Amino acid sequence: MTKSQGWLLVLGTVIVAQIAVPTIALMHDAPARFGFQMYSGYHTGSITVLDYGGTEIDVEFNALLPTGLRSELDWERYIPEHICSEVTDAATITIQRADRPETNVPCR
């Protein structure tokens, strides 16, 4: 095998892998990791912001967070602290996700 044939073999293998992995993922239930539909139609959950009287505050998350409410991010780690610092009347942040128990985070 010559050097150019080796490169063609490597290139062919890479191309086949780029087609095969998503194709196999499409055969699984959506959304499938590494599939074309990875996050399409994926119900991410919701975040509710309550004031000190327990009334829900309407928050535009797409304006507040640079990436919106993307499902692959860890919402519990940074989002409550950021919302508490940006929304002046926020007292409690409630995070509901389909794959985790509900989390209530008080603002300090």
Bridging pattern class, strands 56-57 and 100-106: unpaired
Structure-block tokens of residue 89: 């009347």
Chain centroid to CA 87: how far?
Answer: 22
Domain chopping of the chain, boundaries: 1-41, 46-106
Euclidean distance between CA atoms 72 and 105, whole angstroms: 20
Please state, in angstroms and rounded to a whole number, the distance separating the CA atoms of residues 47 and 21: 33
Q: How does pLDDT run across 62-105, given as a tens digit for each residue?
A: 778 776 677 667 778 888 998 999 998 999 999 988 777 888 99
pLDDT one-digit tens code per residue, 38-47: 555 555 678 8
